[in-house]
Structure 1
Amino acid sequence: MTERPMPSEDGILAFHKRCEDFYPADAVDADIAQQRAWYDALCAAFDAAPPAGMVKADGLVAGRIPVRRYRPAAPTTQTRLFYIHGGGFVVGSLESHDAICAELAEAAGAELVSIDYRLSPEHVWPAAFDDCWAVLVELLLENRPVVVIGDSAGGNLAAGIVLKARDEGLKGIAGQALIYPGLGGDLVSGSYVDMAEAPGLSTVDVAYYRDIYGAPEEAVHAYPLRAEILAGLPPAFITGAYFDPLRDDARAYAARLALSGVPVDFREEKQMIHAWLRARFMSEGAKAGFAALCAAVRRMANL
């Protein structure tokens, strides 16, 4: 039997243990309501107070899409950040990534908008994508630059709407930050094999989330790695986790962007697992990775 790949950093191992106390490794076998209840409890366990002076306001875009706006006490730029949460297109909400969004807004000195897009299986492709696209268009219509950010499934949605913006000639995206994104790799080679049983996310889990999302194979904006042309996209910051079946999606997309002439800042967190953003107060590697993400977003927002 092949030995399960595991990092050696104590902090990330403690994080993984704490996660599994809330969200079992076989969570995808449970019904959707149970998965969401477990995920909500997990997120609450890693919650943190917002930075001093941070103002939050909930509202709707297009009369139906819930968003949350974050304004730091002392903004330094007119650029807005648009954050799209992860969760396999199945779990997650405005609450699940609330602290992460607040800290990113503070670090960048920029207002941030997060989205509560429709989830599968109640709303399959292209519902989540359409919601994210509608919010992006609304932000761009306000004639202020936008940095699009997403983690995991949110990284997929972020990359997809940035591709569509280029395809439709929309201007104003100052950058994209993709955090351990799932971008449409083949599931049968590279990290999908080497890290098939990695802690926090397995290749079987990835296949489950893709299946429940229901995007057809020809939907290039759902599988950004399959896009034939990547030239003309905005600058990118891409960070992957070594112990993650999605690792090679991040590597491959960063390489293809660079070969297409797109400015790319790529990091791979060598001791990290999927979802390491939540470990930023438990793990030195996650703390360093989050600091690099914040610095990259700040650079893109303040150009």
Structure 2
Amino acid sequence: MDYEQLIDAETWAFIRRTNDCYPADTAERSVPEQREIYNAMARSFLAPRPDVVETEDRQVNGVPVRIYIAGDPTRTVMYCHGGGFVVGGLESHDDVCAEICAQTGYRVVAVDYRLAPEHMHPAMFDDAWAAFEWILSEYEGGIVLSGDSAGANLCAAVAHHARGRTDRILGQVLIYGAFGGDVNAGSYLEHAKAPMLTRDEILFYQGVRCKDGKVPQGDPTYAPLQDGDFSGLPATILISADCDPVRDDSRDYRDRILAAGGKAHWINEEGLVHGYLRARHSVGRARDSFERISLAIEALGQEIWPYD
């Protein structure tokens, strides 16, 4: 794969800047040390919160959350962060959530779910669901689910589990999500050695949250693509990075929803790589994509479908 041609100079600068944050022996270090390295990397990209945004940290149903408010919101976004279910938290995606709040005017509730390997599946899903149930009880109005990478997986799992339990999910906006696709086909092989995320890393992340590394089968709370029923899901917008092993998961998830008679749209961002949200202030392609993401969240919150 000729990434020198596919990826532009701005994105390569972002990739190099990210890689410079990781010591050569990062993979051999303990998980706590890896988290410190990841958090330091995330801080190096952190943008100031918009002045209009206020925040509050709370414990809800036993789960830490951060609530972002700008004005008097009538909609709520539940946001789950990425990080392979191993790293990340409220701080790593603080500016992303604050900017979504400022740009949409919606309340954003960021979920600090438990991480592997200290906590095995379904702990992460249980925390996302507990936070979602709290949102249902605490606020009126519709809810938009959004997250990136592992967080997109959790949001989709919540959407599947919510069917028949609530009709308040207005939609989901899922950013370079890993939904449990075939790791021996398509983009997993085409981009097995992609910058920012490799197939080997995905295999590690898949197993690390499972007892004895045994990946569940037929469990949509682990991998939404394992579900046998894709009917009744909320309107779904999927955004993928083209140079990313998990790219085809977004396409496949869209296709399953459409085949079941639902509403779904896939946007594949050419020349971008996994984790590009952190590049939205330095890379033109990432900036444009983040604008599409914010507009998608806003549209779903207003029950508008702009993709017909």
Band the TM-score falls in, shorter-chain normalisation: over 0.9
| TM-score, structure 2 as length reference | 0.93
Paired with 2:257 and 2:173, the residues of 1 have a C-alpha distance of 13
Q: What does residue range 138-217 of structure 1 map to in structure 2 within 5 Å?
A: 138-141=134-137, 142-166=139-163, 168-214=164-210, 215-217=215-217
Residue of structure 1 in register with 2:67 after alignment:
69
Identity %: 36
Paired with 1:59 and 1:12, the residues of 2 have a C-alpha distance of 36
Is 1:37 aligned with 2:48? no
Residue of structure 2 in register with 1:288 after alignment:
288
Q: What does residue range 1-303 of structure 1 map to in structure 2 within 5 Å?
A: 3=1, 5-6=3-4, 7-23=6-22, 27-62=26-61, 64-72=62-70, 74-75=71-72, 77-141=73-137, 142-166=139-163, 168-214=164-210, 215-303=215-303
Paired with 2:182 and 2:265, the residues of 1 have a C-alpha distance of 24
How far apart are residue 252 of structure 1 and its match? 0.8
Paired with 1:220 and 1:121, the residues of 2 have a C-alpha distance of 20
How far apart are residue 157 of structure 1 and its match? 0.5
C-alpha root-mean-square deviation of aligned residues, in Å?
1.5
Structure 2 alignment gaps of length 5 or more: 304-308
Conserved 8 A contact 1:176-1:234? yes
How far apart are residue 28 of structure 1 and its match? 3.8
Conserved 8 A contact 1:70-1:112? yes
- Distance change >3 Å, CA 191–CA 25, structure 1 → 2: farther
Question: Which one-letter code corresponds to 2:149 in the other structure?
Answer: S
Paired with 1:96 and 1:259, the residues of 2 have a C-alpha distance of 36
Structure 1 alignment gaps of length 5 or more: none
- Distance change >3 Å, CA 302–CA 25, structure 1 → 2: farther
Between Structure 1 and Structure 2, how many residues are aligned? 297
Conserved 8 A contact 2:63-2:113? yes
| TM-score, structure 1 as length reference | 0.94
How far apart are residue 265 of structure 1 and its match? 2.6
Conserved 8 A contact 1:5-1:197? no
After superposition, the C-alpha distances for 1:221-240 in whole angstroms (9 at most, x for unaligned) are 21111211111100011000
How far apart are residue 26 of structure 1 and its match? 6.8
Higher relative CO (Cα under 8 Å, sequence separation at least 6) belongs to: 1
Conserved 8 A contact 2:52-2:102? no
Conserved 8 A contact 1:242-1:273? yes
Residue of structure 1 in register with 2:306 after alignment:
none
How far apart are residue 5 of structure 1 and its match? 3.8
Conserved 8 A contact 1:4-1:197? no
Aligned to 2:58, the other structure's residue is in SS state strand
Paired with 2:63 and 2:254, the residues of 1 have a C-alpha distance of 31
